Amino acid sequence: MSTVKQDTRLRDILGTSALRPDGVAKVMGSFSFSSDMWAENMLWGATLRSPHPYARIISIDTTAALLISGVSAVITAQDVPGKATYGLISADQPVFASEFVRYMGEPVAAIAADHPETCRRALAAIIVNYEVLAPVVDPELAMLATTEQIHPDGNLIRHQKIICGDPQISGDITVEGHYTIGMQDQAFLGLEAAMAFPDSGGKGVELHIATQWLHEDRGQIAACLKLPEDNVRLVLGGVGGAFGAREDISLQVHCCLLALHTGRPIKMQYSREESFFGHVHRHPAKIWMKHHATKEGKIVKVESRMVFDGGAYTSTSPAVLINGITHTQGPYQCDNAVVDGYAVRTNNPPCGAMRGFGVVQACFAHESQMDKLAQACGLSPVEVRLINAMHTGDKLITGQAMESVAPVERCIRETDAIPMPEPLAANANVLEFPGGSGRTADRQNIVRGIGWGVSMKNLMYSEGFDDYATARCTLSNGIASLKFATSEVGQGFVTLAPQIARSVLGVDDVVFETSDTQIGSAGSTSASRQTWMSGGAVDGACRLVRERLFEHVGELHNIDPIRLMIEHTDVIDTIGTFRISVTEATQGITLSETFEHHHRKTEDLDANGQGNCHVAFAFVAHRAVVDVDIELGLVKVVQIATAQDVGRVLNPLSAIGQIEGGIAQGLGLAVMEEIIMDNGRVKNPSFTDYLLPTALDAPSVVAIMIEEPEPQAPLGAKGIGEPPCISVTPAIVAAIRAATGKALSRVPVRPQDICL
Amino acid sequence: MYPTRFNYESPKSIAEAIALLHQGGGEAKILAGGQSLVPMMRLRFAAPEMIVDINNIPGLDYLTVDADGTIHIGALCRHSDLEKSSLLMAHQPTMAAAAPVIADPIVRNRGTLVGSLCHADPQGDWSSVMMALGGIVVAQGPNGRRSIPAADFVKGPFQNMLAFDEIAIEAIVPAPKGIPNGGYLKLERRVGDFATAGVAVAVESSQGLIIRAGIGLTGVGGSTINATAAAQSLVGAPLTAGSIAHAADLAAQAAQPRSDHRGSASYKRQIVKTFVVRILSGVVESMERAA
Ligand SMILES: Cc1cc2nc3c(=O)[nH]c(=O)nc-3n(C[C@H](O)[C@H](O)[C@H](O)COP(=O)(O)OP(=O)(O)OC[C@H]3O[C@@H](n4cnc5c(N)ncnc54)[C@H](O)[C@@H]3O)c2cc1C
C-alpha cells in the first residue's frame, strides 16, 4: 500500500492530508452506524421476501402471524396509503408485491414485533400462496416481442442508438469480440439499517437512514406514504459504505409504514444475506464490439451492441445504458461510430448504480479491443493507446466536444514510467503466490503477465439533470458551522468540507450541523460528484460569508472591503497594515449564507445518440502485473501502476484512499466478485461464497496523481471516486491473457477459465 | 438463529457418556470441539435433545506414537495440537500438511480430528487423510470396543458407522512398513474456507519402490472418496513421471465432483489431477534428497 508524506503545514486546509474527523471513532468501534440506533419503546421490523424469481401471488394469509404474541403489525401492499410503487427514474417497483413477484427476494410483506426472534417466527407464519411461473432470465430473449412481458411497462427498459460520422466507413484492419460482464455486488460492510420515529398523531415521520441521497429518498417515501414532503424528515444515519447500492429505496418505505402503523419507533436492519436481495447490483452485460483502424493502428470507426440486464425493475438502468454506450470509444479519438444499446427487464435481481455506472462494462470491452488492435497492427499496448489518445477539444461520438482537461497521453506515459515490480523471488513467502492462503501454488508453474487499461469516466449526472448541491455556512465567534444534506458514505466529504471552510474563511474550528432534509438537496453521493458539487456549494457559501465578513470589518474599521483578504487566520488589509484575527472579527456576530452550486446544463441524446449529454470527464491509466498458476487457474495481482487525472489534489491521503479502494473493487470484478445466478436464483448470498478481495489479495499500488486543474470545477478538482475501479479490471484481465495466452472475454475470470 | 432447546450433560467418564447416549436413544449427540455441531444447531440443521459434552472427560486429548510408529489420536486432540506437533512433522508428512490448512486458527484451537471424522463432511479434510493412511477409528459402546477402518467409517454425507450409543475414542494410523511419505493439498477460495477440492496422498517406500499407497479426495463427491485404483497403480514400482501422470488421471476419474459456486466439475477434476502430480513430484524430490 502507498504511504502519503505527512504534511508539515499546521492547519488542515485544502491540499493537506487532514485526517478524517470520524476516523478514530470508526477504527475504535465507537462510531454510530445506522444499525447501532436504539430507541425506548421501539419495535423491530422485518421483511417477508419471495422465494421465487417469478410467480403469481394467489393469496397472502397473515392471520397466524398476527396472533403470535409480540407481533404488532403485519402489512402488505393493501396497507400502502399512497403510491404503490417507487423508483429513481421510473416508479415501477412495488413497495410490496401484490399480483406478481418478479425477482427472488422481492418484498411481499413486512412485520413489526418486539424481538428479532419474534419477527423470524412471524415471517414464517405468513402463508403466501404462489403460482410459480417460468422466469425470463435471458435479456436477449426478454427483449423479443414474442417473449412474455413480465411487467406492464414491457421488457425493454430503454433502447438507444449512437450514429456518428460515416456509418459505412471501414478500415484496413478490423478486430472484434464478444464480452461478458458478470453481476457485481457493492458489498458495503454496513448493512441496510434505519430507524423511523412516527410523529404523534401519525401525520408525519422522521427516518434516520443510511442513504446516498436524503432528498430523493424523501420524495419517493412521501409519495408512497401519501404525506406532504415536509412531514417526512430524513436524517442521515451512519453509513458504512454505499458504492451505488444506497441510491435506490430498500427498507425506507417499509420502516416508515410500520412506524406509522404501530405508532412506535421501528428499527430495521438487514442481515448480509438479506442485503444481497435488498439492494440493486451492477448490471451484467453482454457487449459485441468491432474496431476499424488504419494499418498504423489509428481508430477509424467503432461499432458496438450492448445489452444490459436490468433485472426486474428499472432503477437507474436507462442512465447506466447511456453511460455505457456513450463511453464506447473510451479515452480515444474516434470520428465514426455505430452503437446500439439495450437495457432489458428480466426476472433477475434489479440492477442499478454501482461505482463506474455503465462505464465499467464498456471499458472492459473497449480495452480488450485495444489489445486486439495492438496485436493486429504489431504495436505494443502502450503504443496503440498513445496513437489514439483523446485530447481536450476532440469531438466525442455523441457530437459533444471534450471540454474537460484530457491528459490521456500523460496518464499513459507516467504510468508507463513507473518501475516494474521485482520478479517473484525464489524464496518468496507462499502468501505472495497465487492462491496465497491455500499454499497450493507451485513456484515452477507461476507465470507473470503485464496488461494495460485506460479509461474515461463522466462526472456528475447527465442528460439534462440538474443535480445541484446546497450548503449553508454560519460564522460566529471564530467558529464556522456547516450545514448540508450531503451523504458521507465513507468518501471523506466530512474531511473535505472543513478544509474548504478553513481555507476560505481563515478559521480553524469547523463544526457540522446534522445532515438532514432541513436544507436544500445536495444531490446524491455518486457519479464522482460530491467534491465538485457539494464542495462547490460549501465553497460558495463560505465565500458569501467571507464577503459579509469583509463588509463588516470594512465598515467597522473604515476600509474598503475590496482591500481585505484572508491570510492564515487573519483578515488583513492588502494595502495597509490593518490585521485582525477572524475569531476577533466575528465576536458577537453571526454571518450565515446558503449557496446552491449548479453545474452547466446538459441535454438529452437525440434519436441518433447526439447531444451534449455529459458535464465533464476524468481519465486514468492502469498497468497490472499478475502472477498466475496456470494449472490451477489461480491469480495474484502483484502490482497496479496508475496515473490518474485528478484535476487538483485537495487531500492526498483521501485521494490515495479512493485510488487504492477503487483498485481493490476493480480487482474484485476482474478475478473474484460475482453474484452467481441460476435461472433467476442467487446462489451465493454470503461473504463465504461471494468473494471479496481481502488484504492478502490487495496488490501493491503505485499511484501518480496528475494535477491539471479543471477550469469548470469550483475547486479545480475532478471527481476521483470512480475512475480507479474502471480500467483496472481490463488491465488485470489483459495481464492474465499475457501470462496464459487465453482469450478471456468474460469477467470475473474464474480459475476454470484459465486452466481448462 | 438460535438452536432449539436441548439438555446439556457433562459426563466425567467414557462409561458415563455412553450411558447418557444410550439413555438418549438416538436423540443425544456428542459435543467435542463443537465446530461443526454448534453451527449445525444454530442453523437448525441439527436439533438434538441432549448434548453430551465430552470435554470434561480426562485423558482423551493425547497424540502418541508407539515404538513401531503407530500413531494414536485421542478424541479430544485438537487440530491445533496436530498442527504444532513436531512428531507429525518428522514422521507423518500427509497429516502434517493437512493440519495447518483446516479452517482458521480459532476453529483449529477447538475442533478435533476424531470429531471431524465423525462429522463425515464430504469437505472435511481429515477423512481423506485418514483414508489415504489406511487409518482406523476405535469406537466404544455398551458392548465394548471395536475398530472400524477409516475407509468404511464414512457411510455417506454426514453419516458415520457408529451406533447411536457409541463414542469414537481415538483414531489410529497403523505403523508404516516402509518409509512414509506424501502430502496434502487443498484448494480453498480463501483462508478458513472449506476445500473446493483437496487431495491426500500417503505412500510408503522401500528401496525405491512404492510398497503401499493411499489417495483420499476431499470435496469432490457426496462423501470422501477413496481413490483406490489410482493408489494401487503406484504399488510395486518406483515413482516415475509416467506412473505419476497415470495415477493422477485415475484419481481425477475417481472424483465425482459437481459444478457449483466453487467451480465447475471439470475444474475440480483438473485440481485433483494437478494436486496428485504435485504431491507425488514432491515425494520424488524428497526421496531423491534422502537417497
Ligand atoms: C468456520 C469454520 C471453518 C471450517 N473449515 C474447515 C475446513 O476447512 N476443513 C475441515 O475439515 N473442517 C472445517 N471445519 C470443521 C471443523 O474442522 C470441525 O472442527 C470438525 O469438522 C468437527 O470437529 P469437532 O471436534 O468440532 O466436532 P463437533 O462439532 O463437536 O462434532 C461434530 C459431529 O461429530 C460428532 N462427534 C464428535 N466427536 C465425537 C466422538 N468422539 N464420538 C462420536 N461422535 C462424535 C458430534 O456429535 C457431531 O455430530 C470448519 C468449521 C468452521 C466453524
Inter-chain residue contact A442 with B271, CB threshold 8 Å: no
Strand (E) or helix (H) holding A301: strand A299-311
Pocket test for ligand 1, best of B22, B30, B52 (most atoms within 8 A of CB): B30
* Residue A677: strand pairing partners: A682
- B100 CA distance to ligand 1 centroid (A)? 15
- Closest approach atom of ligand 1 to CA B193: 8
Contacts of A442 in chain B (CB under 8 A): 278
A589 and A680 in a single domain? The answer is no
Rounded to the nearest angstrom, the distance between the alpha carbon of B86 and the centre of ligand 1 is 23
**In terms of domains, do A253 and A393 share one?**
no
Does the domain at B7-54 match CATH 3.30.565.10? Answer given as no
Predicted local confidence at residue A425, as pLDDT: 87
| 8 Å CB contact between A529 and A537 | no
For residues A452 and A477, state if they share a domain: no
Please check whether residue A709 is in contact with residue A407, taking contact to mean a CB–CB distance below 8 angstroms.
no
For residue B39, the ligand 1 atom closest to its alpha carbon is: 53
Cβ atoms A338, A162 nearer than 8 A: yes
Helical H segments across A265-345, by residue range: 272-278, 317-326
Q: How far apart are CA A581 and CA A88, in angstroms?
A: 47
Of A186, A238, A249, the closest CA to residue A687 belongs to A186
Tell me how far the alpha carbon of residue A726 is from its chain's centroid. 11
The predicted pLDDT at position A692 comes to 95
CA of B92 to the centre of ligand 1 (A): 22
C-alpha cell at A43: 419495535
Q: Is the residue at A402 inside a domain?
A: yes
The whole domain housing A103 covers: 34-134+191-239+246-278
| β partners of residue A571 | A566, A580
As a whole number of angstroms, the distance between CA B133 and CA A7 comes to 61
Average pLDDT (B130-135) is 98
pLDDT-derived band at B102 (thresholds 50, 70, 90) equals very high
C-alpha A480/C-alpha A483 separation (Å) is: 10
Which CATH architecture describes the domain B179-290? Answer: 2-Layer Sandwich (3.30)
Distance CA A423, CA B90 (A): 33
Would A673 be classed as within a structural domain?
Answer: yes
Contact A755 B189 (CB under 8 A): no
**A166 is written with which cell numbers?**
460515416
Nearest to A238 by CA among A280, A191, A292: A191
So where are chain B's domains? Answer: 7-54, 63-173, 179-290
Which residues, 6+ apart, have CB-to-CB distance to A176 below 8 Å?
A288, A289, A290, A291, A369, A372
Q: Tell me: the pLDDT tens digits for B189-210?
A: 887 788 999 999 999 999 999 9
A10 within some domain = no
Tell the residue nearest (CA) to atom 41 of ligand 1: B168
Is A93 in contact with A173 (CB distance < 8 Å)?
no
DSSP A170: -
A174 by Cβ neighbours in 10 Å (0-12 / 13-18 / 19+) ranks as: middle
The cell 449548479 sits on which residue? A598
Q: Which residues of chain B make contact with A117, given a CB cutoff of 8 A?
A: 2
Contact residues for B124 (Cβ-Cβ < 8 A; gap 6+): B116, B117, B218, B224
A756–B264 C-beta distance less than 8 A: yes
Q: Using CA coordinates, name the residue in chain A closest to B275.
A: A440
Same domain for A481 and A387: no
Strand partners of residue A570: A567, A581
In CATH terms, the fold of domain B63-173 is 3.30.465
Burial of B66 (0-12, 13-18, 19+ CB in 10 A): exposed
Amino acid present at A639 = Q
In which region does residue A405 sit, left (phi positive, over 0), alpha (psi from -120 to 50) or beta (all else)?
Answer: beta
Pick the residue whose CA is nearest to atom 36 on ligand 1: B115
> What's the gap in Å between A634 CA and the centre of ligand 1?
28
Q: How far is A638 from chain B (nearest CA, A)?
A: 17
- A4 domain residue, yes or no: no
Residue A458 lies in a domain: yes
Query: What is residue A213's DSSP assignment?
Result: B
Q: Which three cell numbers mark B227? A: 481413490
Distance CA A534, CA A715 (A): 11
Number of helices (H), then strands (E), in chain A? 18, 33
Are A264 and A198 in contact by the 8 Å Cβ rule? The answer is yes
**Residue A401 included in any domain:** yes
Tell me how far CA of residue A25 lies from CA of A10, A65, A238, A242, A269, in angstroms.
Answer: 22, 40, 11, 19, 21
* Beta strands, E only, A346-460: 351-352, 446-459
Kindly report the average pLDDT of chain B as a whole number. 95
Select from B188, B267, B274 the Cβ nearest to the Cβ of A752.
B267
Nearest CB to A631 within list B264, B266, B274: B274
A707: left (phi over 0), alpha (psi -120 to 50) or beta: beta
Residues of chain B in Cβ contact (below 8 Å) with chain A: 1-2, 100-101, 185-191, 193, 260-261, 263-264, 266-267, 270-271, 274-275, 278
Distance from CA of B15 to the nearest CA of A (A): 39
pTM: 0.95
- What angle (nearest 5°) sits at the alpha carbon of residue B52, between those of residues B50 and B56? 150
Residue-wise DSSP of A555-596: HHHT--GGGEEEETTEEEESSS--EEEHHHHTTT-EEEEEEE
pLDDT score of B156: 87
For residues A1 and A700, the answer to whether their CB atoms sit within 8 Å is yes
CATH number, position A562: 3.30.365.10
Using DSSP, state whether A20 is helix, strand or coil: coil
Q: Note the maximum CA span of chain B.
A: 60
Instruction: State which of B9, B40, B77, B116 you would mutate to test the pocket of ligand 1, scoring each by most atoms of that ligand within 8 A of its C-beta.
Output: B116
Q: Do A632 and A587 reside in the same domain of the chain?
A: no
Nearest to B71 by CA among B171, B214, B192, B156: B171
A326 inside domain: yes
For the stretch A96-113, pLDDT in tens is 999 999 999 999 999 999
Q: How far is the CA of B187 from the centre of ligand 1 (A)?
A: 19
Peptide bond into A561 cis (omega under 30): no
The reply to whether A321 and A216 lie within a common domain is no
In terms of domains, do A611 and A676 share one?
Answer: yes
Residues of B in Cβ contact (< 8 Å) with A271: none
Answer whether B275's CB lies under 8 Å from B283's CB: no
Strand partners, A466: none
Q: Write out pLDDT tens, residues A508-518.
A: 999 999 999 99
Which residue from A603, A604, A607 is spatially nearest to A163, judged by alpha carbons? A607
Set of chain B residues whose Cβ sits within 8 Å of the Cβ of A750: 263, 267
Q: Same domain, yes or no, for A354 and A418?
A: yes
Using CB distances shorter than 6 Å, the residues near ligand 1 are: B 29-37, 39, 75, 102-103, 107, 110-112, 114-116, 118-119, 121, 124-126, 162, 167-168, 192, 194
Rounded to a whole number of angstroms, the distance from the CA of B163 to the nearest CA of chain A is 34
Collapsing DSSP to helix, strand or coil, B134 comes out as coil
Select the residue of A435, A438, A442 nearest B278 (Cβ to Cβ): A442
Phi-psi region at A477: left, alpha or beta (left = phi > 0; alpha = psi -120 to 50): left
Domain-terminating residue out of A582, A597, A612: A597
Residue A226 burial (CB < 10 Å; 0-12/13-18/19+)? exposed
State the Cα–Cα distance between residues A521 and A472, nearest whole angstrom. Answer: 11
- The amino acid at B242: G
Residue of B171, B178, B209, B181 whose CA lies nearest to B92: B181
**Final residue of a structural domain among A573, A597, A621:** A597
ipTM: 0.90
Query: A118: domain CATH number?
Result: 3.90.1170.50
C-alpha cell at A160: 438507444
Helix spans in A3-137 (H): 23-28, 63-67, 116-125
User: How many contacts, defined by CB atoms under 8 Å, are there between A and B?
Assistant: 55
**What does DSSP assign to residue A279?**
S
* CB distance B201 to B276 below 8 Å: yes
Three-state SS sequence of A238-252: CCCCCCCCCCCCCCH
Residues in chain A with pLDDT values less than 70: 1-9, 436-439
| CA pair distance A707, A729, nearest whole angstrom | 24
Contact A751 B193 (CB under 8 A): no
* DSSP string of A447-512, one letter each residue: EEEEEEEEEEEEES--TT----EEEEEEEETTEEEEEE-B--SSSSHHHHHHHHHHHHH--SEEEE
CB contact at 8 A, B251 and B276 = yes
Look at residue A1 in the predicted model and tell me its pLDDT. 47
Looking at chain B, which residue has its C-alpha nearest residue A116?
B1
Predicted pLDDT of residue A4? 56
Instruction: Find cell 456549494 and name the residue.
Output: A537
Chain B residues whose CB is inside 8 A of the A677 CB are none
Distances (CA, A) of A594 to A5, A493, A534, A540, A544: 35, 18, 12, 8, 8
The answer on A107 and A69 residing in a single domain is yes
Q: Cα-atom radius of gyration of chain B, to the nearest Å?
A: 19
- List residues of chain A with CB under 8 Å from any CB of chain B: 117, 120, 435, 437-440, 442, 631-634, 672, 676, 683-684, 688-689, 691, 694, 696, 750-752, 755-756
Pick B271's closest partner by Cβ from A117, A120, A632.
A632
Does the distance separating the beta carbons of A442 and B261 come in below 8 Å? no
Whether omega before B122 lies within 30 degrees of 0, making that bond cis, reads no
Separation between Cα atoms, residue A328 and residue B264, nearest integer Å:
33
Distances in Å between the Cα of A520 and the Cα atoms of A29, A523, A594, B240 are 31, 9, 9, 77
The torsion of the CA quartet A222, A227, A231, A236, rounded to 10 degrees, works out to: -20
Q: Which of A221, A222, A95, A85 is nearest to A153 (CA)?
A: A85
Residue B181 has pLDDT above 80, yes or no: yes
Distance of CA A756 to the CA centre of its chain: 34
A234 in the same domain as A90: yes
* Residue of A633, A689, A751 lying closest to B261 (CB–CB): A689
- Specify the residue for cell string 470435496: B219
CA distance A271 to chain B (A): 11
Shared-domain flag, residues A489 and A442: no
Inter-chain touch B267–A439, beta carbons under 8 Å:
no
Pairwise CA distance, residues A698 & A693, whole Å = 7
| Residues A264 and A316 grouped into a single domain | no
Specify if A224 maps to a domain: yes
Name chain B contacts of A683, Cβ cutoff 8 Å.
Answer: 260-261
The tally of domains found in chain A comes to 3
Grid coordinates belonging to B263: 467451480
Question: Which of A437, A674, A683 would best serve as a mutation to test chain B binding (most B beta carbons within 10 A)?
Answer: A437
State the pLDDT at residue A468.
Answer: 98
